[in-house]
């Protein structure tokens, strides 16, 4: 860190001296005072940014979520507004001194010191954010421990992406449409104020389901930015599942809504199983599992469908579907609708009548509802595009 800070300091001195020389002003004792002052200012601003870098990267070797460079970049983003505000507050009075000294009073001392401070403070802010930290990352990235951690992060991301393959088109769509400004994870059981709802996601309530279920899910939902990779906003339902009372209330509400209208529940791999099983038990009806290719022993009935890059396949055991039975299709997220559409076609090929589709979360604007046009879709929470 010291080397990067000193290099950034040299940059500030060169910029200040170069601009001062280009202005043609005489070097005076006031000029020297100004140069010495900006040395302290530049180092202070760099230390503030580096302190955030140190905080973010503390113990980074033990995790496989982000590399050292990514954590340092996050520190720069977190320090950006503070540094700009500090610079504006400092530069404005210095600019006033420069105008007064150079154009009104003609005071050489004020002019000399103000010009030096004006240029140096601006250069110091720029270097602390956009030069010192990249230099630090470049230097640290040469260390074996940092290289090894970056390699582990790359391997872990590959494994997480492979594990997320149960709904690849949803992951691809979330990557394309992730929020441009990340948000910190939301604490479970925290009620959202109307202003927060409007600011965060413009969340709407499905007219077919009780609004109490929507609020129940929102109160137990966590949002994790940059998971399982940068640019993806992951909505975590584990707080809902771990809250026994809330999870039971959700299943009770869904059971009350669908009671008497369905003969079976079809859960889509894999998080759809979590919702389908307790709902089927509550209603006293059977559960049909629809899985990715190769997960079920034969004989199976299967259907291929298109992804953004390539194809995927859904399969089921046809003997688990009763001819003419009214089936509810349930899953955790509706994004592009590819998996759901393929599963519905598969169920109907097996002889079922798909009565309705229930999604815990829906990402509107990704085409899922349009792909399932003409179907009865109940989404507990709908996230509109920001």
| Catalytic site positions | 271, 308
| Torsion from C-alpha of 105, 107, 112, 114, nearest 10 degrees | -40
Banded pLDDT at 14 (limits 50, 70, 90): confident
Rounded to whole angstroms, the Cα distance separating 101 from 124 reads 23
Find the range with the poorest average confidence among 52-61, 342-351, 372-381. 52-61
pLDDT of residue 66: 80
pLDDT of residue 182: 30
Angle, vertex CA 285, rays to CA 283 and CA 289, nearest 5: 115
Q: What is the mean pLDDT of residues 306-331?
A: 90
pLDDT of residue 159: 55
Rounded to whole angstroms, the Cα distance separating 35 from 312 reads 64
Q: What is the mean pLDDT of residues 153-163?
A: 61
Rounded to whole angstroms, the Cα distance separating 171 from 49 reads 33
Q: What is the mean pLDDT of residues 112-125?
A: 76
Banded pLDDT at 102 (limits 50, 70, 90): low
Banded pLDDT at 27 (limits 50, 70, 90): confident
Rounded to whole angstroms, the Cα distance separating 78 from 264 reads 50
Find the range with the poorest average confidence among 85-94, 324-333, 349-358. 85-94
Find the range with the poorest average confidence among 36-50, 195-209, 348-362. 195-209
Query: For the whole prediction, is pTM greater than 0.85?
Result: no
Assigned token pair, 24: 């043609």
On the question of pLDDT at 165 being above 70, the answer is: no
Closest CA to 98 of 77, 83, 112: 112
On the question of pLDDT at 171 being above 90, the answer is: no
Rounded to whole angstroms, the Cα distance separating 158 from 149 reads 14
Is the model more confident about 38 or about 190? Answer: 38
Distances (CA, A) of 360 to 19, 208, 217, 354: 60, 13, 8, 18
Assigned token pair, 246: 């809330």
Give the distance from CA 211 to its chain's centroid.
26
pLDDT of residue 73: 87
Q: What is the mean pLDDT of residues 107-132?
A: 75
Assigned token pair, 79: 């320090």
To which residue do tokens 């990249």 refer?
134
pLDDT of residue 300: 95
65-98 pLDDT tens trace: 788 888 888 888 887 877 778 778 877 877 777 7
pLDDT of residue 167: 53
Max CA distance (Å), the chain = 96
pLDDT of residue 181: 31
On the question of pLDDT at 294 being above 80, the answer is: yes
Assigned token pair, 322: 């009763």
Q: What is the mean pLDDT of residues 330-354?
A: 95
On the question of pLDDT at 371 being above 70, the answer is: yes
Share of the chain above pLDDT 70, in %: 81
Distances (CA, A) of 374 to 172, 323, 337, 370: 25, 22, 13, 9
Rounded to whole angstroms, the Cα distance separating 318 from 370 reads 28
Domains of the chain, start order? 2-150 (1.20.1640.10), 218-383 (3.40.50.2020)
Structural contact between residues 366 and 177, judged by C-beta atoms closer than 8 angstroms? yes
Banded pLDDT at 169 (limits 50, 70, 90): low
Rounded to whole angstroms, the Cα distance separating 366 from 384 reads 10
On the question of pLDDT at 207 being above 80, the answer is: no
pLDDT of residue 260: 93
Rounded to whole angstroms, the Cα distance separating 325 from 263 reads 6
Assigned token pair, 7: 């290099």
């Amino acid at each position: 860190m010291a080397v990067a800070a000193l290099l950034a300091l040299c940059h500030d001195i060169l910029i200040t001296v170069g601009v001062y020389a280009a202005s043609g002003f005489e070097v005076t004792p006031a000029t020297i005072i100004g140069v010495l002052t900006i040395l302290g200012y530049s180092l202070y601003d760099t230390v503030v940014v580096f302190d955030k870098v140190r905080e973010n990267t503390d113990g980074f070797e033990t995790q496989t979520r982000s590399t050292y460079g990514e954590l340092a970049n996050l520190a720069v983003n977190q320090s950006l507004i503070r540094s700009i505000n500090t610079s504006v507050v400092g530069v404005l009075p210095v600019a006033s001194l420069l105008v007064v000294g150079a154009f009104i009073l003609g005071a050489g001392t004020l002019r000399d010191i103000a010009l030096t401070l004006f240029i140096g403070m601006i250069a110091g802010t720029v270097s602390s954010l956009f030069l010192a930290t990249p230099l630090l990352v470049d230097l640290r990235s040469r260390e074996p421990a940092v290289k090894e951690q970056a390699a582990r992060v790359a391997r872990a991301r590959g494994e997480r992406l492979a594990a997320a393959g149960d709904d690849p088109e949803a992951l691809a769509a979330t990557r394309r449409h992730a929020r441009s400004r990340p948000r910190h994870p939301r604490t479970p059981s925290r009620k959202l104020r109307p202003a927060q709802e409007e600011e965060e996601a413009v969340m709407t309530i499905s007219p077919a389901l009780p609004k109490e279920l929507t609020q129940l899910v929102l109160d137990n939902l966590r949002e994790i930015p940059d998971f399982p990779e940068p640019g993806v906003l992951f909505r975590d339902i584990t707080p809902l599942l771990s809250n026994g009372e809330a999870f039971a209330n959700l299943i009770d509400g869904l059971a009350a809504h669908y009671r008497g209208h369905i003969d079976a529940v079809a859960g889509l791999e894999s998080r759809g199983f979590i919702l389908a099983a307790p709902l089927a038990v509550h209603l006293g009806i059977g559960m049909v599992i629809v899985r990715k290719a190769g997960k079920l022993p034969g004989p199976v009935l299967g259907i291929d469908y298109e992804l953004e890059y390539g194809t995927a396949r859904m399969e089921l055991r046809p003997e688990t579907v009763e001819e003419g039975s009214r089936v509810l299709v349930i899953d955790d997220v509706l994004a592009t609708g590819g998996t759901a559409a393929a599963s519905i076609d598969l169920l109907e090929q097996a002889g079922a009548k798909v009565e309705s589709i229930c999604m815990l979360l829906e990402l509107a604007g990704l085409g899922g509802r349009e792909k399932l046009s003409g179907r009865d879709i109940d989404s507990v929470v709908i996230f509109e595009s920001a």
